[in-house]
Amino acid sequence: MALVLPATTWIEPGARHRAGAEAVALGRARALLVTDAFMVQSGVAAEIRAGLEEAGLAVALFDGVEPDPTDAAVDEGRAALVAHEADVVIGLGGGSALDAAKTIAVRGGNPGPMRQYMGYQQLVGAGLPVIAIPTTAGTGAEATRVVVVTDTSTDTKMMLLDDRLCPTVALVDVELSATMPRPLTAHVGVDTLTHGIEAYVSAKATEETDPLALACVRRCGEHLRAAWEDGDLEARAGMARAAYEGGAAFANASVCLVHGMSRPLGAVFHVPHGLSNAVLLPTVTAFSLEGAPERYAEVARALGLVAGDESVAAAGDALIAGLEDLNRRLEVPRLRDLPGVTRERFDAALPKMAQDALASGSPDRNPVVPTAEQIEELYRRAW
């Protein structure tokens, strides 16, 4: 059993300032900085760029990443990489920017339609090293060998998992997530919790991933509400660490049904990743509970919802109630409240969403492996 993780990880306030030194330590001289328009406006991209240049690197900027990166955006970034003759990619931003950076870095060795590389370990060529600097405490993309990229020809989200997609360096800097708006803190925070839970109950969980998964869950129990309520830096730092641990756990143990069902919601209705997971977590957990009651009970204990001597059945009930309560407190909306998701469009999309969820492979790792009909029913319950 191998655990695939970044070769170097820094988790500390100010970690972003290490980007230049880390790139130089890797023997690199020409960096492509991959980010989004918001990071440019806020001045963070300029700060990172200046740090890289100070370390002696020649830097080009690609800021064309939008939420839910597409294959087209990746190829645009790839063109910028080739034009600059970059030998290292710096990813700066939320999960979308980091996924784009990771994919751009391997695109040279893996040409042609991206669809052929979908799934597990399908890449054929190596890529450039990536230094990942997350700005949202959530996706854990800085720690994972997973990317999700939208296939514009079919309107589906492709998941690619490959060792060569794992960043070489992760710089987790709480100062960057300190200004996250409240709804984003809630959505990516519940996404982080979902990573911990799904990695722990996954059929692919191992002795190596369990401690990471439980540490993530425990930290979410300690810090998520405080990070949301008053955004204090200690709670935010706890969530940044939880995001890294959750990413490290699920990239090696897999995610399950929540993520399997969340990707089609994102692809069809453009619901951001964190939010689409958050709305599904309580419903899907209630469905999956009977497949791994002991494991879910451990999750309830790690969240501090029950004492250690509480029965497994009571812990399971407390978990479902606790997850529903968490969503209410963090003001996570129901599916029906999301802009653009009408009941008519939702019902019409159900069969395709269920098929796409199954095709992703994630539901196979779930404690209860659902049929397409059951997935449709779960979407309806989350409405």
Interaction site with Fe ion (CB under 5 A): 191
CB atoms < 10 A from the CB of 340, how many? Answer: 9
Q: How far is the CB of 141 from Fe ion (least distance, A)?
A: 9
Kindly tell me the burial class for residue 290, based on how many C-beta atoms sit within 10 Å of its own C-beta (0-12, 13-18, 19 or more): exposed
Q: Nearer to Fe ion by C-beta: 142 or 191?
A: 191
Q: How far is the CB of 195 from Fe ion (least distance, A)?
A: 6
d(CA 58, CA 28): 10
d(CA 251, CA 143): 8
Residue nearest to Fe ion according to CB distances in the complex: 191
Q: Nearer to Fe ion by C-beta: 45 or 220?
A: 220
Q: How far is the CB of 224 from Fe ion (least distance, A)?
A: 14
CB atoms < 10 A from the CB of 17, how many? Answer: 17
Q: Nearer to Fe ion by C-beta: 35 or 96?
A: 96
Could you tell me which residues are beta bridge partners of residue 70? 150
Q: How far is the CB of 108 from Fe ion (least distance, A)?
A: 27
Angle (CA) 160 172 273, round 5°:
40
Q: How far is the CB of 172 from Fe ion (least distance, A)?
A: 16
Q: Nearer to Fe ion by C-beta: 63 or 191?
A: 191
d(CA 360, CA 152): 16
Q: How far is the CB of 81 from Fe ion (least distance, A)?
A: 26
The DSSP code sequence of 157-174 is EEEEE-GGGS-SEEEE-H
104: CB partners within 8 A, 6+ apart = 32, 34, 62, 74, 77, 78, 81, 89
| CA distances for 86 relative to 28, 56, 371, angstroms | 9, 14, 46
Q: How far is the CB of 139 from Fe ion (least distance, A)?
A: 6
Of the chain, the end-to-end C-alpha distance in Å amounts to: 39
Q: Nearer to Fe ion by C-beta: 51 or 93?
A: 93
Q: Nearer to Fe ion by C-beta: 256 or 300?
A: 256
Q: Nearer to Fe ion by C-beta: 19 or 197?
A: 197
